[in-house]
Amino acid sequence: MITRELALRLRGTGLHWHPVSGDRFGVLVDGVDEIFTVSDMTIQAHDYPTGTVLGFNGTTEWALDSVSLQDAVWLPREDQLRDLLGGTFRSLARSTDGSFQVLVELAGRPEQVFTADRAEDAYALALLSLIEAAVDRR
């Protein structure tokens, strides 16, 4: 799972989240550091004209009825991050020091390598870079 810091940075780029079963998220409430998982049994995404609300069904460890999507931070999985990289993704490798390296390539640019202690974080760093590069080109 990516770090909360990286998740907040991705959120800050405008990366939009459409919650589906299996997605993990944190709640942006001081003192609440728990990680929740969207599940048809306990936490469901409800779409309304005013926005998406994550509804907590039944009894959960934390007494909460619902939270708006704006008050949650998505913690994408490794496969979701790789999918978001799309055709720019070239490879994931483990270096001799145990860190992970993600290689991406944008047309007309040299390949870029992003390194982190966890594969998910390397994917997230690569995605951040690509989103920021796309914003800079606008």
Give the chain's residues under pLDDT 50. none
Q: What is the pTM of this model?
A: 0.82
| 23 and 68 fall within a common domain | yes
Q: What range defines the domain where residue 69 resides?
A: 18-74
| 91 and 53 fall within a common domain | no
What pLDDT score does 122 carry? Answer: 98
Express each pLDDT in 21-52 by its tens digit.
Answer: 899 999 988 777 889 888 777 777 888 898 88
| 23 and 66 fall within a common domain | yes
| 84 and 129 fall within a common domain | yes
What pLDDT score does 51 carry? Answer: 87
User: Could you write out the DSSP letters of every residue in the chain?
Assistant: ---HHHHHHHHHTT------TT-EEEE-STT---EEE-BTTTEEEEEETTEEEEEE-S--SS--SEEEGGGEEE---HHHHHHHHGGGEEEEEE-TTS-EEEEE--TTS--EEEEESSHHHHHHHHHHHHHHHHHHT-
| 70 and 85 fall within a common domain | no
What pLDDT score does 134 carry? Answer: 80
What pLDDT score does 130 carry? Answer: 92
What pLDDT score does 94 carry? Answer: 97
